[in-house]
Structure 1
Amino acid sequence: MSTTGESPRVLTVTNRHRRGRRPPVVLVAVLAACALVAGCSAAADPAPAAPAPATTAPPAPTTTAPPVPELPGGDTVVFPGRRMAALYGHPGTPSMGVLGEQDLPRSIERAKRLAADFQPLVREPVVPAFEIIATVADRVPGADGDYSAEMSVDELRPWVEQAGRAGVYVVLDLQPGTTDFLTQARRYTELLARPHVGLALDPEWRLEPGQRHGVQVGSVTAAEVNRTSQWLAGLVRERRLPQKVFLLHQFRVPMIADRQAVVTTHPELATVLHADGYGTRQEKLETWNALHAAPRPTGLWWGWKNFIDEDSPTFTPRETYAVRPESPVFVSYQ
């Protein structure tokens, strides 16, 4: 029974009793019935539902980038904090440097012994290294016509992989002939994407059309160097790699005539000016001093090359580190 349906009837009975002045018995009964109906209705109503427990939204998924791998010797910045002592040359070719005088396992051991010779002279770790001539200046144009013989990635891969496992840093050296450094560097993207592999440019072997190796000493513009360094720095950022050695060989000022325009501000790269050239002690120091005196950008690190057979005599490790105005952080032996 609905309480809403009873309301008109209750009002009619009450008015009639007031007109006849009779005891309101019927009214009391009706009111009692209404109260009973209201009580039953209230009892029948369900209790209000308990509020639903508050729900906490699951945390949004987060992706944490993998850490940047460390360099041989620790950390992710090349210099300062370490030095490098390297065997230079072409695998299997003894005439091109000491790296080619023995097989890969013995090259690793020789590089470690070389680093150990330098270690007592400095506090920072001296890391063993290879500087591998990946593209070799050639007197004939070859199938691609660029006067440069390129090692394949497959040929270089064992040297890069085994060196990395042994804690040996690797620098790939380019002698590009009549092609440009960036074109050759891109050939080795797979290897340069390894955290322990850097890049060296050798302007002596960068020819203009019509020039020939052994007739002219090559050269490179700062613009070409900068295009190469910009690409390499981008690879470091894209692959989340530690800082790389970016090494520029030079023994004559005209080899990089506008060297002051070379960009050295890429934080992804440690740009090293590597003083090449052989001869007597006096001749080597004259080359070193001339390279320091020529216009140059700020932010350069310095390297030095010792020629075991051609120098007379070869600098000892102590003599090498003693050169001034600054001690070289990258020393190679050819």
Structure 2
Amino acid sequence: MMKLPLSILLLSALWAGQGCQSKAAKETTANDSTATITTSASATPETDAPASTSTALPDSIAAGKALSPIDSLGLIGPKITGAILPGKRILAFYGNPHSKKMGVLGEYPKDDMLRKLDQQAIPWIEQDSAKTPIQKALHLVAISAQGAPGKNGHYSMRMSDKTIRKVIRWAAEHNAICFLDIQVGLAPLGPEMEFLKPYIELPYVHLGIDPEFSMKTGARPGSKIGTYDAADVNSAVQFLSRIVKDKKLPPKILVVHRFTRRMVTNYKNIKLDPNVQIVMHMDGWGPPSLKRDTYHDYIQTEPVQYTGFKLFYKNDLKKVDKNSSWKVPHLMEPKEVLSLTPKPLYIQYQ
């Protein structure tokens, strides 16, 4: 596989650094002049085909066939036998191994990153009066929005099979689950989900969809904040439910990122499915009071099923919270996040 220059993977980092804004900044910063988008001509989608479209491991073994690289991942990883939520709280590190600026998953060497994930889990147990068990996770941006149209004109790039399998293996060998995140750009959601299907058929691999980069108007990603309708969320739920039924798997988790009202329209029309656990994830950065307001306005007041909350190691420290007693920028502690109603069951660090 061609080694990717970091510049072509930084559009997600663009909004991670500039655009996953909390409430007060949600409309004005989409056109912020500091939000530089890559337009490199080298932003060509990876198109390496998945090694297999089957995860019928018992049949493969019984037939004496050699396992494909994806099949082999089914022999390792956490043993998920039932629904993860609400019995556990998920703690995820987000990013892409090709970029140090997209999130903590790619910012550090693998072993250092996983060690940091272990350390970050400790206060979530210590500061939780309920002592909810932690399920660690890696959240990979598997399809990344781009500032250039690329060969397919979709302004998005699929990661290669090698990259996706690498991060899934990192998770599996660390007893963690894995999320594969989609930033569609101008592409339709259905084919992008199908591209990831062989991986999501693994019992411990789940899905994330990001409305921020769903550019239904045809605008370039990063020029404004995108949107999904309830119909899009329902299509993702149906996609996951079919996998669960066909492969006889435990319920899948769908994470839907959100930090403005328009990012998810007609939320009341989102249909619950016993095979899928939906997490509406507060994805905005800023000082604590702003993040709490965003959570209240777009997550708590428009409930779906379960809730999530993102913490930015860097962006949350850009401003002092004038509505608190803190005199310096402050990253919210677990006890502060756990004071929210409802208590988030999916926590993501970027």
TM range (shorter): 0.7 to 0.9
Match of 2:17 in 1: none
Give yes or no for the alignment of 1:309 onto 2:314. Answer: yes
Shift of 1:210: 2.8
Displacement of 1:286 in angstroms is 1.1
Aligned residue for 1:305, secondary structure, equals: strand
Q: How does 1:190-229 map to 2 (within 5 A)?
A: 190-229=198-237
1:329 corresponds to 2:329: no
Percent same amino acid at aligned positions?
27
Residue matched to 1:134:
142
Counterpart selection for 1:243 from 241, 251, 261: 251
| Cα distance per residue 1:235-259 (max 9 Å; x no partner) | 0111111111111100001111111
- Deviation readout 1:55-106 (Å, 9 max, x if unpaired): xxxxxxxxxxxxxx99847641111211111111111311111111123333
Amino acid at match of 2:307: W
**Secondary structure of 2:310's match?**
strand
Output one character per residue of 1:89-128: Cα deviation in whole Å (capped at 9) or x when no partner: 1113111111111233333222222222312224231011
Does the 8 Å contact 2:307/2:345 carry over to 1?
yes
Question: RCO (CA 8 Å, sep 6+): is it higher in 1 or 2?
Answer: 2
Residue 280 of structure 1 and its aligned partner are, at CA, apart by: 1.4
**Structure-2 residue corresponding to 1:78:** 84
Does the CA contact (< 8 Å) of 1:73 and 1:127 recur in 2?
A: no
Shift of 1:159: 1.3
Q: Which amino acid aligns with 1:101?
A: E
Distance 1:75 1:175, change over 3 A: same
The alpha-carbon distance between structure 1 residues 291 and 201, as it changes in their structure 2 partners (threshold 3 A), is same
Instruction: Give, as a single letter, the amino acid of the residue that structure 2 aligns with 1:320.
Output: V
2: CA distance, partners of 1:99 / 1:293: 28
Offset at 1:293? 5.5
CA distance in 1, matches of 2:247, 2:79: 20
* CA-atom RMSD in angstroms: 2.0
8 A contact 2:96–2:105 mirrored in 1: yes
Matched, 1:253 2:261: yes
Select 2:298's aligned residue among 287, 291, 298: 291
1: CA distance, partners of 2:244 / 2:113: 27
Which residue matches 2:38? none
- In structure 1, the partner of 2:175 is 167
Aligned AA for 2:271? V
Q: Which has the larger radius of gyration?
A: 1
Which residue of the partner structure matches residue 160 of structure 2? 152
Counterpart of 1:113 (choices 119, 131, 140) is 119
CA contact (8 A) 2:137 2:179 kept: yes
Displacement after TM superposition at 1:174 (Å): 0.7
Alignment of 1:98 onto 2:104: yes
**Partner of 1:172: helix, strand, or coil?**
strand
Q: Which runs of 5 or more residues in structure 1 are unaligned?
A: 1-68
Q: What is the CA–CA distance in structure 2 between the aligned matches of 1:269 and 1:292, rounded to whole Å?
A: 18
Could you tell me which residue of structure 2 aligns to residue 272 of structure 1? 279
| 2:184 alignment partner, SS class | coil
Is 1:246–1:269's contact at 8 Å kept on the other side of the alignment?
yes
Kindly indicate whether the alpha-carbon contact (under 8 Å) linking 1:131 and 1:173 is maintained by their aligned counterparts in 2.
Answer: yes
Per-residue CA deviation, residues 145-178 of structure 1 (Å, 9 max, x unaligned), is 1001110222210210231132111111111101
User: Once the 2 structures are TM-superposed, how far is the Cα of residue 143 of structure 1 from its aligned partner?
Assistant: 1.0
**For the Cα contact (< 8 Å) 2:80–2:250, is it kept in 1?**
no
- Which letter maps to 1:222? A
Q: 1:286 to 1:131 in 2, by over 3 A?
A: same
Distance between the aligned counterparts of 1:260 and 1:285, measured in 2? Answer: 22
Aligned in 2, Cα 1:138/1:310: closer, same or farther, shift over 3 Å?
A: same
Q: Deviations over 1:7-61 (max 9, x none)?
A: xxxxxxxxxxxxxxxxxxxxxxxxxxxxxxxxxxxxxxxxxxxxxxxxxxxxxxx
What TM-score results when the alignment is normalised by the length of structure 1? 0.74
How many angstroms apart in 1 are the aligned matches of 2:173 and 2:249?
A: 17
Aligned residues: 263
